[in-house]
Amino acid sequence: MSQKKQSLAYIISASSVGTLIEWYDFYIFGSLATVLSTKFFPTDNPTAAFLNTLATFAAGFVVRPFGALVFGRLGDLIGRKYTFMVTLMLMGGATFAIGLVPSYATIGGWAPFIVLTLRLLQGLALGGEYGGAATYVAEHSPAERRGFFTSWIQTTATVGLVISLGVIMLTRSSMSKEAFDEYGWRVPFLLSIVMVGISFLIRRNMEESPMFEKAKKEGTTSTNPLKESFGNKLNLKFVLLALFGATMGQGLVWYTGQFYAQTFLLKICNLDDIQTNTILVIGLLLGTPLFIFFGALSDKIGRKGIMLAGMAIAVFAYRPIFDKMYQTVNVKNKEVVAGSEKIEETRALNAKSTVDSLVTTTTTRLYTDGATYKKVSKLVVLADKTAEAPKAEIKETITINDSDKWTLIGMVFLLISFVTMAYGPIAAFLVELFPTKIRYTSMSLPYHIGNGIFGGLMPAIATFLVTTAKDTNKVAEEAGQVATIAKPYLEGLNYPIALVSVCVVIGIIYIKGDKKHA
Amino acid sequence: MNAIKKILGLVWIALGVAAGIYLVYFQALPLWEKGGNDLVPAIIYTCVLAPLISIGMSVFGYYSVTGEFDNV
């Protein structure tokens, strides 16, 4: 018994470490998007700017379901172990290669295309990895503790994000800003090859899943997993049920809690980036043990109730939580220290011209609660007065006091706790929904459509909805009318709230609530 | 419960069609006209979200109406 436990612990840790590294690889691209855009995607080249938007916001996510199909099929044909070794190497290779790609200044238009291609390969690899790892661990676990054991795999996405933020912060702090912009940003990408190498050595000694081995010996493996998964009505209905009754809502809750919270604080509340990342990392670390708790709890009381409760609470709590976050940072709720406002203006020759000038106006304020406000406005003044003047580039940054910081950590923790309820038991739920011979394929596709497409695109769509709402109000105000949208900064939440609500209704009515099934 | 599933099946079909029309006509079309970087969300709405939601929800609704989810 003790040996069995030990080998299961090895299986879980070896699987989890590999999956964690894949998440790390996937996230550093997003976290370093600003630096990458200056190196590979110059804004004065429209094609490169378009590719930048595509690479940053969509490509890696949209391609994930295709990875699920390609590698899911392989996993059901040749085995789980070999397939997730391939995805690990593909992800590691693509990430390492991003760290080696010469910049746009060196090789011109090839740079954005190469980086976009490598980002697509990352998405493909991730699409194949998760289903393999979850299936592999689940097929080794005793049925009555499957929720607990697979929940370790569920922590990897969150821990991967924390490690990616940590490595980037450490690299930044170990060198000057100029050195980081010059070459330091490559370090987190290059470091991936070391982590992947270690994970490869650990995974190399793992044995094939016992359920798959048994099916192989009995000759009951699938000869055409794609056809059996999606061309067969009996199985397709469960794929659709998994998507619309579980993974769609779970993916949205996950990306709203982990990623939109970050985007919201940075871009909509204008909170300082170091404070934002610190708040996020502490909130994530405090919330991570709950993945294991809810995974284990799902073995006792069933998966359905916990997952749907997490989603339902999120639907009702999102607007109050995000409103509280916004109002905590909002300087309109704070009192300015008398005489603290300073305005400095500098004028220099614009870097991209020999005649136009760049006027930089910096406004700073202090608040009685210790918060600070900084607004930098950059305006290009054209020498040719008849030409249309470009819009000023404005960047606002707010820092808050410790008490407000802990308020925000509490809010992020609440968001993460919804994530853990929806996400903790889902690997076990998906594994139990499909038969061994087509499990890898059948569970991977709904998972990656739910998480990669519905969830992954969430921060970009929500930010777009907020911008549209603000523009609508601006047009109304300029026309002398009352602003039509009371809280435009919360408009982005309409997307997850609407879809998660549909998912909860479908889940309640269509998913069986008994422990064996859900 | 099976009767509720059958009635809801029609709701999912209607919702799928309505979501497809909303995403393409009201969200994507103005973005296609703007061009530039707005083409990225336009492509996502038209080629990814709209077909996924409308076809997926409609097939799910159809299965629900035809009793595929009875006693599931």
Q: Write down the pLDDT at residue A517.
A: 42
The candidate with the shortest Cα–Cα distance to A437, out of A80, A198, A91, is A80
pLDDT of residue B34: 85
Name which of A57, A237, A240 is nearest B40 (Cβ-Cβ).
A57
pLDDT tens-digit series, residues B17-46 = 999 999 999 989 998 988 877 788 888 899
- Residue A515 pLDDT: 52
Chain A interface includes B39 (CB < 8 A): yes
Residues of chain B contacting A244 with CB distance shorter than 8 Å: 12, 56-57, 60
**What value does the CA radius of gyration of chain B take, rounded to a whole number of Å?**
15
Q: What 8-state DSSP symbol labels residue A271?
A: B
Which region, left, alpha or beta, applies to residue A370 given φ > 0 means left and ψ of -120 to 50 means alpha?
left
Q: State the number of CA atoms in the 13 A half-sphere of A222 facing the CB.
A: 24
Please provide residue A293's backbone torsions phi and psi, each rounded to the nearest 5 degrees: -60, -50
Mean pLDDT of successive 10-residue stretches along chain A, which has 518 residues:
62 88 86 83 73 76 93 93 90 94 89 91 91 89 93 90 89 90 94 90 86 90 92 93 96 93 92 91 94 96 96 98 97 95 89 79 96 93 78 90 97 97 95 92 94 89 88 89 90 96 96 62
Q: How far apart are CA A189 and CA A186, in angstroms?
A: 5
pLDDT at residue B12, as a whole number: 96
Can you give the pLDDT at residue A1?
42
All residues of chain B having their beta carbon less than 8 Å from the beta carbon of residue A240 are 56, 59-60, 63
| Chain A residue set in contact with B, beta carbons under 8 Å | 46, 49-50, 53-54, 57-58, 62, 233, 236-237, 240-241, 243-244, 449, 453, 457, 460-461, 464, 502, 505-506, 509-510, 512
